[in-house]
Amino acid sequence: MRFTRTKAIIIAAAAALLSAGLLIAATFALFSDSVKTVNHLQAGTLDVSLYKISETGVIADGNGIIPATAQTEDYSSSPIDLEASDASVFSLGNCVPGVWQEVTLQIVNNGTVAFDYSVSLVVTSELTGSAALLAEQLMVTVSDADGNAVVPAFSLAVAQERGEIALGSLTEANAASEFKVKVELPANESVLDSGAEGSTIMGAQVDFDISVKAQQKTEQA
Amino acid sequence: MKTKKMAVLSAALIIVLCAVVIVGATFALFGKKIDKSVTVTTGDVSISAEFGASPVLYSLVDGVQQKLSGESGNTFYLGGEASLDQDTGVLSLTGIIPGDKAEISLTIKNTSSVAIKYCVAANVTGSLASDAENGVIVNTGIESGTGYSWEEIAVQGEVTVTISVELPKAAEQIADGSCEVDFTIYAGQSNASDEDLETLFGLN
């Protein structure tokens, strides 16, 4: 009788100890796993290039001779990088009524960020006297690659009011798009002589900036 | 209560911070702008015209029109006279008879910045102008006869034309016939059509 009770107690104690051990062991024997990930955060780049692909028009040559028909220069095989400091967009010296020039420009997405692009013209010379008269008569047309006007032609005198003219978007790297800008002095008004200072457009000058802007594309709500 | 206050304060602070981020994010777009300067200048059309010193005279001598020597001055063979006003460009012929002719040279210089077209027009007044058959004939050196004829001159170029005013040999003599001829030189940009230039100057 005594043996059986003692045995039972011992066995019970051992069982209790074992259970405790199991519990303790089990407490730390949970299934577990871990995955380590490495995250790289890198900013995109917005970088564009602007090239002149061609120019066409009726402009006076170095001898003051104005051709009867439009002359075209094609630079598509070697586009002119307009970011270069000495590259000009237009050659509009010695103009007379009837003279015009249209350039085809190409914008290229050299970066990784999609962007919207636009063009604007801002007169930088003082618009008084003959310069003001000339700015009123100079007509600007902005067209897409197919020659369709993006906006109605407007005079240089109101270019600043016109503001930025939206042209489109480039969403992929290395994508390119073309557009045209034309400046014309229409043969609307005959000028018989240079007249008093500032009274006609003979011997006049007007300066303006043409800007092409690319801005990160945002989704409209 | 204190806990509630803290919670409200924290929430407000979070809202303010979010607003700052949103406002900051609105202007934080990538962009690039390429600017190019353009200068537009216009040319001008201007000419200078200068007549020769004095007319060269011709008269009929023994029925044949001959050039008179310089010794005759401004007097035709039988006494008529020719005079040229250098300032106004008016040639005056008085007392001339059939066969008398005066020639003057006119040098036109293109002082424009572009190539031009020019035309010399003559206007005759006086008794010798009124009769188409018996009046003087003016040859402006470009094209004899009627109409206007335009010729080109390069930038800084010049041309000298010889203009003649003649009472034809077959004309009936008009007593005390006289006339004045004034000349006008018109010039316009060379790429204009003749018709447009004539419209510009009211010649058609």
> pLDDT confidence of A86, banded at 50, 70, 90?
confident
Structural domain boundaries of chain A? 1-33, 48-216
B133: closest CA of chain A, how far (Å): 35
Q: pLDDT of B37-92, one tens digit each?
A: 999 999 999 999 999 888 999 999 998 999 998 777 899 999 999 999 888 888 89
CB contacts of A45 in chain B (<8 Å) are: 30
Question: Does A196 have pLDDT greater than 80?
Answer: no
pLDDT attached to residue B144: 43
Range of A66-70, A181-185, A214-218, B24-28 with top mean pLDDT: A181-185
Question: Does B24 have pLDDT greater than 70?
Answer: no
pLDDT greater at residue A47 or residue B4: A47
Range of A146-150, B9-13, B22-26 with top mean pLDDT: A146-150
pLDDT greater at residue B65 or residue B204: B65
**Is B180 among the domain residues?**
yes
pLDDT attached to residue A221: 47
3-state secondary structure of B80: coil
Angstrom CA distances, A72 to A9, A17, A54, A55, A59, stand at 112, 100, 7, 6, 11
**Is B40 among the domain residues?**
no
Q: What share of chain B is helix, strand, coil (3-state, %, to 5)?
A: 15, 40, 40
Angstrom CA distances, A3 to A7, A15, B155, stand at 6, 18, 139
CB half-sphere exposure, A144, CA atoms < 13 A? 8
Nearest to A61 by CA among B60, B113, B203: B113
> Which residue segment(s) compose the domain that B100 sits in?
47-200
Token pair of B4 as six digits: 């509630």
pLDDT greater at residue A22 or residue A176: A176
Q: What span, in angstroms and rounded, lies between the C-alpha atoms of B189 and B202?
A: 16
Question: Does B25 have pLDDT greater than 70?
Answer: no
pLDDT greater at residue B27 or residue A12: A12
> pLDDT confidence of A43, banded at 50, 70, 90?
confident
Test the B interface: residue of A94, A107, A120 with most B CBs within 10 Å: A94
Give the least confident one: A44-48, B36-40, B112-116. Answer: A44-48
pLDDT attached to residue A210: 95
pLDDT attached to residue B21: 52
**Is B12 among the domain residues?**
no
Provide the mean pLDDT of chain A.
88
**Is B35 among the domain residues?**
no
Q: What are phi and psi of B93, to 5 degrees?
A: -125, 125
pLDDT attached to residue A17: 76
Q: pLDDT of A104-119, one tens digit each?
A: 999 999 999 999 999 9
Test the A interface: residue of B22, B36, B155, B198 with most A CBs within 10 Å: B36
pLDDT attached to residue A194: 67
pLDDT (average), residues B10-33: 67
Percent of chain B with pLDDT over 90: 43
What are the residue ranges of helices labelled H in chain B?
Answer: 2-26, 194-200
pTM of structure: 0.78
A146: closest CA of chain B, how far (Å): 23
Q: pLDDT of A4-38, one tens digit each?
A: 888 878 877 777 777 665 555 555 567 888 887 77
pLDDT attached to residue B145: 44
**Is B85 among the domain residues?**
yes
Range of B119-133, B144-158, B179-193 with top mean pLDDT: B179-193
Question: Does B16 have pLDDT greater than 70?
Answer: no
**Is B17 among the domain residues?**
no
Question: Does B151 have pLDDT greater than 80?
Answer: yes
Q: Is A201 on the interface with B (CB under 8 A)?
A: yes
CB contacts of B191 in chain A (<8 Å) are: 58, 66-68, 96, 98
**Is B165 among the domain residues?**
yes
Q: Is B176 on the interface with A (CB under 8 A)?
A: no
H or E stretch covering A216: strand A205-216
A193: closest CA of chain B, how far (Å): 7
A99: closest CA of chain B, how far (Å): 10
Give the least confident one: A26-40, A43-57, A91-105, A191-205. Answer: A26-40
Give the A window 117-176 contacts with B, CB below 8 Å.
124, 134, 138, 156
Task: Specify the fold of A48-216.
Answer: Jelly Rolls (2.60.120)
Q: Is A82 on the interface with B (CB under 8 A)?
A: yes
Number of domains in chain B: 1
Q: Is A88 on the interface with B (CB under 8 A)?
A: yes
The enclosing domain of B99 has a CATH number of: 2.60.40
pLDDT attached to residue B182: 86
**Is B24 among the domain residues?**
no
